[in-house]
Amino acid sequence: MHIPDGFLNLPTAVASGAVAAGAVGYACARLRRTLPPEKAPLLGVMGAFVFAGQMVNFPVAGGTSGHLLGAALVTILLGPWAAMLVMTAVLVVQCFVFQDGGLSALGANVLNMAVVAPLVAAAVYRALGRAVPSGGRPFLPTVVAAWATVVVAALFCAAELVLSGTAAAAVVFPAMLGIHALIGVGEALLTAGALAVIAAARPDLWPVPRPAEVAE
């Protein structure tokens, strides 16, 4: 759902860019205080994995494709603040090197996929953590969080299109919701699959969330 140049008007682009910049700046400030130095390579390789995963479009219904977003995967592994930095780096490289997502829409794309998506993933993952029996794998929180990231990011994208006067709310919200509810199923399967593989080698990287604790 990378928004290209031409879809957003100037006020929407500037406003979403300002919110995105503030959020990513806050994430960086938090990481500066809290990130263990030995996690630096893990942030790098997760960004690389998300970039690669986003290249692989899979077909969904009606001649439409979707691809991994990756925000839930990185949030569950590294927490929402690290995920914001990782997802922002992916989007910036995609925009400047690969012409994927417009420069004028970079702020909106960062807001939807690098700020909102990790916050949604963290909130849902934590909220559903209490449903996981002790010793169990957090499959349910993982798949619901992954599905929700795609759907909520798509709704933010739709809202930006409405604010820009590009599309009418009555049609663009149902259209974006419908297709991304399907793409979100792919996101849920890919996220749980990737975490199952990683947890086979490193069970500590797929922690069972507890509602009271903040995933850092």
Partner 1 sequence: MKRTAWLGILLAALGVAAVLAPFASSWPDGLEKVAETLGFAHRAEIGPLVSSPIPDYGMPGVGNSRLATTAAGVVGTLVVFAVLYGLVRLLVARRRGEDARTE
Q: Cβ closer to partner 1: 64 or 211?
A: 64
**Binding track over 38-67 against partner 1, x by CB under 8 A:** xxxxxxxxxxxxxxxx-xxxxxx-xxxxxx
Q: Cβ closer to partner 1: 106 or 124?
A: 106
Q: Cβ closer to partner 1: 46 or 128?
A: 46
**Beta pairing partners, 60:** 64
**Binding track over 125-154 against partner 1, x by CB under 8 A:** -----------------------------x
The answer to whether residue 170 forms part of the interface with partner 1 (CB under 8 A) is no
Token pair for 175: 């259209």
User: Would residue 90 be called left, alpha or beta, if left means φ above 0 and alpha means ψ between -120 and 50 degrees?
Assistant: alpha
Please state the closest distance from residue 172 (CB atom) to partner 1, in A. 6
Q: Are strands 64-66 and 58-60 parallel, antiparallel or unpaired?
A: antiparallel
DSSP letter (8 states) at residue 1: -
Q: Give the count of residues interacting with partner 1 (CB under 8 A).
A: 73
Q: Cβ closer to partner 1: 10 or 212?
A: 10
Q: Which residues contact 191 (CB under 8 A, 6 or more apart)?
A: 68, 70, 72, 73, 76, 142, 143, 145, 146
What is the spatial distance between Cα 202 and Cα 148, in angstroms, rounded to a whole number?
A: 25
**Binding positions for partner 1, 87-106, rule CB under 8 A:** 89-90, 92-100, 102-104
**Binding positions for partner 1, 188-207, rule CB under 8 A:** 198, 201-202, 205
How far is C-alpha 106 from the chain's CA centre? Answer: 15
**Which residue's entry shows tokens 């406003």?**
15
Please state the closest distance from residue 127 (CB atom) to partner 1, in A. 26
